[in-house]
Structure 1
């Protein structure tokens, strides 16, 4: 049996715009999903803010960590289309699909690796931006309060390059 036939046998659920399929950190129910119709967004809490990592589009699997190690959900999933149609893949179905369709495991592994690279890159970019914003805020704050420290007092001194390591960190 091929992948298409296996997917056709899945239990289906329909959910509406704005509904949360699952929340980051909650125990998983041991199920992963296949999106047949609609669009979902993935959110991860980073430093107290929910950041959209990416969208899930029709034809994608997600939630596989629940099958592999029954870990808590790593992110939150929200429906952004009018409705979404999902197939539920529990552990028994997962094992059956793996045995009947070796291409299923290959596609899943390939997608998981792609997502790891993509998500890691996005998280690094978000943290880099936050660090840059913090440095700019410190420089702006230091330059606004330090006009008396300028030798000429005209504020024309160029602030230090935030990407060059200084012997004395800004703000100390």
Structure 2
């Protein structure tokens, strides 16, 4: 598969090289990663800046290139509780690529942070050019969601002090 012999910009090359460093994309070839990089963009956040707020429209998946994000969820008493910290290589917003539902948590930058993102529109355009690359991305996102759900289930069981019957 080729990507119309397009040459990558410096930014797209940096994006592709970062994607190469993520185990999530270890089964992708260079052409697939180049195509993916062409459909991604950068976001730069200052310390204390929100990536998104719970309830916002979910329309992108992102990967932390550098910096630290905190994922916050409102408790029953209305306080924001930190439920995760995300550093280099972490992903956020996987559900948005699948279901386009409102964001389920708030994400704030705890230090200057750079991310690369794939919007729903970018994913749709990529999939039009290369359906198989789109399928591979969905498979990887499904695995991420499954792993996250297993981790969450284990944490919930620990918190509820569930004992075998």
**Shorter chain as normaliser: what TM range?**
0.5 to 0.7
Q: CA deviation at 1:123?
A: 4.1
Match of 2:100 in 1: 70
Between the two proteins, the alignment pairs up a number of residues equal to: 127
Q: Partner of 1:85 in structure 2?
A: 114
- Give the deviation of 1:106 after TM superposition: 3.1
> Are 2:76 and 1:47 aligned?
yes
Per the TM alignment, residue 119 of structure 1 is displaced from its structure 2 partner at its CA by 2.4
Q: Distance in 2 between matches of 1:34 and 1:119?
A: 20
Give the unaligned 5+ runs of structure 1.
Answer: 130-162, 164-172
Query: Which 4+ stretches in 1 moved above 6 angstroms?
Result: none
Q: Is the 8 A contact 1:14 1:86 kept in 2?
A: yes
**Could you state the TM-score of these two structures normalised by the residue count of structure 1?**
0.61
Query: Residue by residue, what CA displacement relative to the aligned partner does 1:95-123 show, whole Å, maximum 9, x if unpaired?
Result: 31673635433332211111112223334
In 2, distance between residues paired with 1:52 and 1:42? 6
Which residue in 2 is equivalent to 1:152?
Answer: none
Aligned residue in 2 for 1:104: 137
Alignment of 1:131-146 (within 5 A): none
Does the residue aligned with 2:74 lie in a helix, a strand or coil? Answer: strand
Provide Cα deviations, 1:24-72, integer angstroms capped at 9, x if missing partner.
1x23152222221111111112322322221222223211222222211
Counterpart in 2 of 1:116?
149
Q: 1:124 to 1:7 in 2, by over 3 A?
A: farther
